[in-house]
Amino acid sequence: MVWLLIVVPLLAAVLAFAVSSPTLRAWILPTVGILHLGILLVALTTWRTLPATAWFGLDALGGWVLLVISVLFCICAFYAPAYLALRPDRDHRVLSTCLLGFLGLASLLAQARHPGIAWVAMETTTLVTAPLIYFNHNRRSLEATWKYLVIGSVGIALALLGTLFIAYAAHMGGLQEPLRYTRLMENGALLSRPWLRAGFVLTLVGYGTKMGLAPLHTWKPDAYGETPGIVGALLAGGVTSCAFLALLRIYAVVGAAGEGAFARELMVAFGMLSMAWALVFMIRQTDIKRLLAYSSVEHMGILVFGIGIGGLAAKFALFHLAANALVKSVLFLSAGNIHRSYASKQLPFVTGAIRRTPVSGWLFLLGFLAITGMPPFAPFLSEFNIASGALSTGHILGGTAFLILLGCIFLAMSETVVQVVFGTPSAQRVRTPYKDAPATTAPLIVALGLALILGIWMPRPLQAMLDHAATTVEGVLSARMEVQP
């Protein structure tokens, strides 16, 4: 049944391309989103052991990541019809098709049991998301699309080389194809060390480029800055999660092969660097969407940092994937609303949002507080546990630096956010007809509500899934939990 998760969105993408009525087409998005989430939830409640020979199937890790993407897609999809109605000048045939295509390919990636298939899915995801960035059809978005396409393709090419290196490591160890993740993990001890290490470095750099880890994030502020908020939300929470999953699969193989210490160090270093780099560019950032892009760089850093620390921190890094995706959708979509209202996303022009668009202004403010780790929202829970995981496992320096960086990032972001939300309205602002309406704010309130609930209470099945996913990431195969396709 899980194959429906791939087929339904892809068929819907074809349908969206064929339908000529814009209103009808816009409503395909939420319909498919809710259908996808429903199928996924049913699939996740009926766990069975997957035969080792399967090419596709959901395990706890893939299921968790896909659940995050599916919920995020739903939020964005329910926001879409109202948003697209605000942009009657722009044809959204390509946008709708590519959004649905992305959902299908993300489902393929989550279910891939072979690194080669995962790579193909990831590369195709890059290609279908590139036209999304070009939605505004102007010079700036064109520049962003070109950078996204070129930098992303090079990164993903390096990931392919890394995947081939790991396949060669197995080849030298006498393992035969098909080298599914399970086989690679079970026979970890046989893998050739130099090729495995080189392969991991390349996949980290390659998929890290897609995630937007510093210093390979250069496409990110441009891409997120020039796209509609809805695409920004899906890129920041969806595409990056896909790349993170592809990386985690390789990380698990490296861990199972007993080279975990090597991989951990690299992850921690990359994480710290991303957070520090993001901080530098957040200071006095006047463009709200670019500010969010750097926040995304920071949070990708938090994810790999947590995974690198391991144990409790790794589990909460996976939890942070959900927390970040939910809150980022609130931030990007409310920033999109503010952008609509002011016809600008730059600081001297966008001030006093709380008076002009009260709901979006509040959501932007609350989203900012949530993402920087204010209790009781979900990011607080994950960031707190990652820090305490680091400090309690002897990473005193890393844990302290992590907390200091979080504090500085809060200060850097607050300077811009406070002006946007509370500042005195600028005299030279443009009047636009945009007003906050339930259709453009309700999905955001739901997302923020979910982030709040997750920060306080975690349903037991999700808890179990997260535990299993965390053990898989650490390279332990015993706790396998998979769904038959």
Partner 1 sequence: MMPDLLIALTMLSNFSLVATSRVSKAIQFAVLQGVLLGLMPLAMGLGRHFHIVLLAIAAVTVKGWLIPFLFRRALRQVHIQREVDPYIGYTVSLMLCALGTGLSLVLAHNLPLKAGTEYTLLVPASLATLFTGFLLLVSRRKALTQVVGYLVLENGIYLFGLLLVEDMPALVEAGILLDLFVGIFVMGIVINHIRVAFDSTDTRHLAELKD
The binding site for partner 1 (CB under 8 A) comprises 55, 114, 116-117, 119-120, 123-124, 127, 130-131, 134, 138-140, 142-147, 149-150, 153-154, 157, 160-161, 164-165, 167-168, 171-172, 176-178, 192, 194-195, 198, 221-222, 225-226, 281, 285, 290
For 68, half-sphere exposure in the C-beta direction (CA atoms, 13 angstrom radius) is: 34
In order of 116, 268, 413, the CA distances from 150 in angstroms are 21, 27, 29
Backbone angles phi, psi at 174, to 5 degrees: 85, 10
> Which residue, among 199, 231, 5, 237, has the nearest Cα to 112 in the 3D structure?
5
Residue 463, C-beta contacts closer than 8 angstroms, at least 6 positions apart: none
How far is residue 103's CA from residue 121's CA, in Å, rounded to a whole number? 11
Closest distance of CB 32 from partner 1, Å? 22
Which residue number, 175 or 312, has a Cβ lying nearer to partner 1?
175
Amino acid found at 328: K
Chain centre to alpha carbon of residue 244? 8
Closest distance of CB 254 from partner 1, Å? 17
Per-residue DSSP letters for 445-479? HHHHHHHHHHHH---HHHHHHHHHHHHHHTT--TT
Closest distance of CB 33 from partner 1, Å? 25
Closest distance of CB 209 from partner 1, Å? 13
Which residue number, 120 or 476, has a Cβ lying nearer to partner 1?
120
Which residue number, 4 or 164, has a Cβ lying nearer to partner 1?
164
How far is residue 30's CA from residue 77's CA, in Å, rounded to a whole number? 5
Closest distance of CB 465 from partner 1, Å? 28
CB neighbourhood size of 439 (10 A): 15
Closest distance of CB 202 from partner 1, Å? 10
Which residue number, 192 or 360, has a Cβ lying nearer to partner 1?
192
Contact between 362 and 451 under an 8 Å Cβ cutoff? The reply is: no
In order of 332, 367, 419, 463, the CA distances from 326 in angstroms are 10, 9, 24, 17
Which residue number, 56 or 83, has a Cβ lying nearer to partner 1?
56
Closest distance of CB 186 from partner 1, Å? 18
Element (H, E) at 58: strand 58-59
Which residue number, 147 or 264, has a Cβ lying nearer to partner 1?
147
Which residue number, 82 or 120, has a Cβ lying nearer to partner 1?
120
Backbone angles phi, psi at 377, to 5 degrees: -75, 160
Closest distance of CB 53 from partner 1, Å? 13
The single-letter DSSP state of residue 236 is: I
Closest distance of CB 18 from partner 1, Å? 20
Contact between 122 and 156 under an 8 Å Cβ cutoff? The reply is: yes
Which residue number, 285 or 372, has a Cβ lying nearer to partner 1?
285
Amino acid found at 94: V
Contact between 181 and 269 under an 8 Å Cβ cutoff? The reply is: no
Closest distance of CB 122 from partner 1, Å? 9
Which residue number, 70 or 285, has a Cβ lying nearer to partner 1?
285
Contact between 485 and 43 under an 8 Å Cβ cutoff? The reply is: no
Which residue number, 178 or 407, has a Cβ lying nearer to partner 1?
178
How far is residue 98's CA from residue 94's CA, in Å, rounded to a whole number? 6
Which residue number, 85 or 164, has a Cβ lying nearer to partner 1?
164
Q: Beta 482-483 vs 58-59: how paired, if at all?
A: antiparallel
How far is residue 331's CA from residue 462's CA, in Å, rounded to a whole number? 25
Closest distance of CB 109 from partner 1, Å? 12
For residues 462, 468, 472, 473, the Cα torsion angle rounded to the nearest 10 degrees is: 50
Using DSSP's 3-state secondary structure scheme, residue 357 falls into coil
Closest distance of CB 485 from partner 1, Å? 15
Backbone angles phi, psi at 59, to 5 degrees: -105, -175
Closest distance of CB 165 from partner 1, Å? 8
Which residue number, 386 or 420, has a Cβ lying nearer to partner 1?
420
How far is residue 264's CA from residue 143's CA, in Å, rounded to a whole number? 35
Which residue number, 85 or 120, has a Cβ lying nearer to partner 1?
120
